[in-house]
Amino acid sequence: EVILRSFQASRRLYCQQSISGVGVAQVIFSLFILAHMTRYLGWLMLYLFHLFWALLAGRPGLPWLHCTNFPELQTLPCEEAGSVANFTHVSTTKLNTLNAHSSLVQFMTMLERPSNNIAETGHLQYYILASMGAVWILVFLATCFGVRWLGKVVHFTFIMPLVLMCLLLVRALTLQGLPEILVKFYESTDWQRMADYLMWKAAIEQAVFATGIGFGAFITIASYNKRSNNLVGDALIIIFGHIVLTLIQVLVIIGFLGHLSLRLGLQPIELLNRGEAQMWHILAYMSYVPDIRTWTAILLFMCIFVLLNVFYLLTLNILATFEDSCGEKSSRCFPRFVLDLFICCITFAIGLYFATQVKRRTKCRFHQKFDLNFQIFEYIL
């Protein structure tokens, strides 16, 4: 992708007339990905907002982890999100994080106020709407003045999550239970699976999605490089940087899992979940860490900065494509500032669905279908 742009005269939409449809599809796909991720990033900002609200109000604990001190955000019966669930049937995890009576689910329900059925869209929820609006205001301010200004912004939003992630790594490695879980992982590993091609297929798919190949962001970024730029070196930096960051993330999760496994007497598999649900479980892990608020704030800031970087790249990706498709003459009538505002408003409008009161089950099914379409669409590209 980096080489493709460096030796072409235009960006993704017209880099090859024979495959221009792929560029159009990538732009449309990026718009829907951004609209979908706006909800997720907006929720993280809501968590951070309520963390500072609880701190300024002088209330102990956090509204999504503790049932007491936040009666306006909880209902009875209420069970703390980090406690062990009291049931015997098979479940993905044995924590109360996503149970109906969980403090975290009740916190999200009080903000969402879901309708009774899928036919009722209800009203817009202003907390969620405001958080989604804040996301796109930040994205617009970072991208409206061009790539030079964005480079200065990214210097902060890229370095800061690395620092915060290193702090989480130190905290995870200094918790009790790390040696025990490392031994447990080593002994329970089936090394014969290394010969199974399906495992490597899943690993390759995850690496492709995680690095962002197929969205066209690398093509757009490479368009600002000189023709003499070392493309192979850039590719190696991206790959090895991704490997290092992945190892850090894995060590952080393993450290917290070892601590919870030691304190609760549960197996690591009983504390894990998949997809978006795992993020809410990580928030529940914080209830077993000393100084809950500090480490939860570090975790939330890190996730927000990481996702903002993704938003910046995809928005710049779409903006650069529209600028090239419109041409230099049209830029006098539609300068970058106006075009960027239009893109941010359109993407914000697409995501308004997630600010409604539509019953959560429909949203979960939508996410499952969206994830499936994501994989199919990316495979086709």
- Tens of pLDDT along 42-79? 999 999 999 999 999 888 888 888 888 888 887 778 88
Is the pLDDT reported for residue 368 higher than 70? Answer: no
**Mean pLDDT over each residue of the chain, to the nearest integer:** 80
| Buried/exposed 179-201: b ≥16 CB within 10 Å, e otherwise | eebeebeeeeeeeeeeeeeeeee
User: Degrees (nearest 5) of the Cα angle 25, 350, 53?
Assistant: 130
Q: Give the pLDDT mean for 216-239.
A: 82
189-213 per-position pLDDT tens digit: 888 888 889 989 988 888 887 787 8
Residue 327 has pLDDT above 70, yes or no: no
Share of the chain above pLDDT 70, in %: 82
Instruction: Place 132 in a pLDDT band, splitting at 50, 70 and 90.
Output: very high
Structural contact between residues 176 and 262, judged by C-beta atoms closer than 8 angstroms? yes
- What mean pLDDT do residues 84-94 have? 61
Q: By the 8 A CB rule, do 11 and 28 touch?
A: no
Q: Using 50, 70 and 90 to split pLDDT, how confident is the model at 329?
A: low
Q: What is the mean pLDDT of the segment spanning 6-20?
A: 52
Q: Provide the percentage of residues in the chain whose pLDDT is more than 90.
A: 23
Higher confidence at residue 305 or residue 144? 305
pTM of the entire structure? 0.85
The stretch 248-269 carries a mean pLDDT of: 87
Mean pLDDT of the 173-191 span: 86
Report pLDDT for 363.
Answer: 43
Contacts of 94 (CB under 8 A, 6+ apart): 84, 85, 266, 270, 271
Nearest-angstrom CA–CA distance, 205 and 251: 21
pLDDT band at 331 (very low <50, low <70, confident <90, very high): low
DSSP state of 202: H
Backbone angles phi, psi at 223, to 5 degrees: -65, -15
Residue 303: pLDDT band (50, 70, 90) is very high
